Structure 1
Amino acid sequence: MIKHFLNDKPTKLFIIFACFFVANALIAECIGGKLFLLEQMVGLPVHSFTVFGEKGLSLTLTAGVLLWPLEFVMTDVVNEYYGPKAVKRISYIAVCMISYAFIMFFVAMQVPASDFWRTSKVTDGVPDMQNAFVQIFGQGMWIIFASLTAFLVSQLVDVTVFHHIKRRTGNKHVWLRATGSTLVSQLVDSFIVLFIAFKVGQGWTWQRVLAICVVNYTYKAIVAIALTPLIYILEHRINKFLGHETAERMKAEAMGQEHPLVAPINVD
């Protein structure tokens, strides 16, 4: 039985997807404290602009946006073959693992640092390693709460929109359900993060929140559209790996049954 479970192709694929999904989300959260200018990254002049009356805006983004688009691609792929219950389950696991990671970061920050380690990088321009460690791994509680809430809600929105479109289009128009669901869920994600972390947490004005939301969402929307071909590439490779008959059966069960996973996988 165990051998059959480990050799089952749908099971192997689901494990790979789940591991990548959780790891990618965790890494994105960990690197999210770094900000960068998109214009500088691509070698363009930096220009400021105004949105909703908020002046001096630029394409300043968190490093986490480099990975988050892949999260929504994975959501659509898992949704296509395993159904919404599988997406919800790996989303819950990701939230739990991210929460656990931040708890461990907090514990590590409270552990007294040795004097030797504190000054070990002075010659490299880091006068206090303990302070640097805290600054890198420490985040405001509002930001952590906002990020986790936005991730979970946007995933659920993505699942709902994806299946609403697929029920109307069947197996046609993969680009529509994949990109459409991502565009909607990314808008929700962008707004929730800024609202909780900065409107509630730091008292920003609605003008600033909405302006920065537009800037962030514009980037996410462009990337979502640009990654649409990746959905087709992945689907082609998955169909080849599973075999046409198995792939079509999984897609049908993902849409037509309350429990979408193909045996022997059980998300309960």
Structure 2
Amino acid sequence: MNLDRRIQLFVVLAAVFVTSLVVGDIIGVKLFEVNLGLMAPVMSAGMLLFPVTFLLTDILNEFYGKKVARFVTWVGFCMAVFAFAAITVAVRVPWAPMTQAADYPGTVARSFDNVFAGSQRILMASMVAYLVGQFADIAVFNGLKRATHNRMLWLRATGSTVVSQLIDTVVVQYIAWTGVLPQKVIIQIILTSYVVKLLVAVGLTPLIYLGHAFVERKLGIAPVVLGEDGEPVNLAAPASEAPPARAA
């Protein structure tokens, strides 16, 4: 099997995307404050990996099209389900008697369960929000790409995030924290998380252009160009033969 650059890049992007998704779900039980001067918003630690998934989703959309982006979305969902099942089994497996000794230096049941039993709820919330948010992101991204005739990369990248992350943030925070945190705190987390995501999305715009240029010029992989029917017209063509894509 010949792994050309397009396949190699796809494998790397998909692997990093799925890893970021699952790890982000697991560490999402931790809340931290960001000191912004006049305010200190509370956010989930899962936010730390948001920039990675945001960037990778746009690159997958840009260079492989919506069908491939949807495929990776389903792979990520299946891996999240797998992680949820593995954590559920690990939480329910009985602890060895030696771990109950007062002088036992390793991880004890209470510490383990506080982290991983709590992450089960985060995983469930994230899986629901993830599917809805990702498919919304893919649809908006490709809709804007078609409407702008493959131009204005910044618009489709940021515009898709504005819509998808609003959905994702509201769904995941309500499912994860309802009954655990006061309603006021949940709303605060939603608002601050969403504002930060929008700021990150805008701040990542230069990186999106850099990633776009690196993949197209250094790796020789052409971005997908959408036709009038919204379907790719150059996905199978080498970069040197593909129609030129106008990113801005």
Q: Give the TM-score taking structure 1 as reference length.
A: 0.77
Q: 1:135 aligns with which of 91, 110, 114?
A: 114
Q: Tell me the matched-pair count.
A: 236
Q: 1:68 aligns with which of 41, 47, 50?
A: 50
C-alpha separation in 2, matches of 1:30 and 1:203: 18
C-alpha separation in 1, matches of 2:11 and 2:59: 13
Q: 1:237–1:103: structure 2 CA closer, same or farther, 3 Å change rule?
A: same
Q: Say whether residues 1:225 and 2:202 are aligned partners.
A: yes
2:213 matched to which residue of 1?
236
C-alpha separation in 2, matches of 1:151 and 1:168: 25
Residues 7-39 of structure 1: CA deviation (Å, up to 9, x unaligned): x11111111111111111011111111111112
Q: 1:216–1:106: structure 2 CA closer, same or farther, 3 Å change rule?
A: same
CA RMSD of the aligned region, Å? 2.8
Contact 1:17 1:78 in 2 (8 A): yes
SS of equivalent residue, structure 2 residue 222 = helix
Contact 2:87 2:120 in 1 (8 A): no
Structural mapping, 1:21-100, within 5 Å: 21-39=17-35, 58-100=40-82
SS of equivalent residue, structure 1 residue 61 = strand
C-alpha displacement at 1:104, in angstroms?
Answer: 0.9
Contact 2:174 2:186 in 1 (8 A): yes
SS of equivalent residue, structure 1 residue 184 = helix
Q: How many percent identity over aligned positions?
A: 36
Task: Name which structure has the greater RCO, CA cutoff 8 Å, separation 6+.
Answer: 1
C-alpha separation in 2, matches of 1:121 and 1:27: 31
Please identify which structure carries the higher helix content: 1
Moved more, 135-144 or 65-74: 135-144
Structural mapping, 1:203-214, within 5 Å: 205=183, 209-214=186-191
C-alpha displacement at 1:145, in angstroms?
Answer: 2.5
Contact 1:82 1:251 in 2 (8 A): no
Q: Say whether residues 1:183 and 2:158 are aligned partners.
A: no
Give unpaired runs (5+ residues) of structure 2.
238-248
2:243 matched to which residue of 1?
none
Contact 1:83 1:260 in 2 (8 A): no
C-alpha displacement at 1:252, in angstroms?
Answer: 4.7
C-alpha separation in 1, matches of 2:34 and 2:68: 34
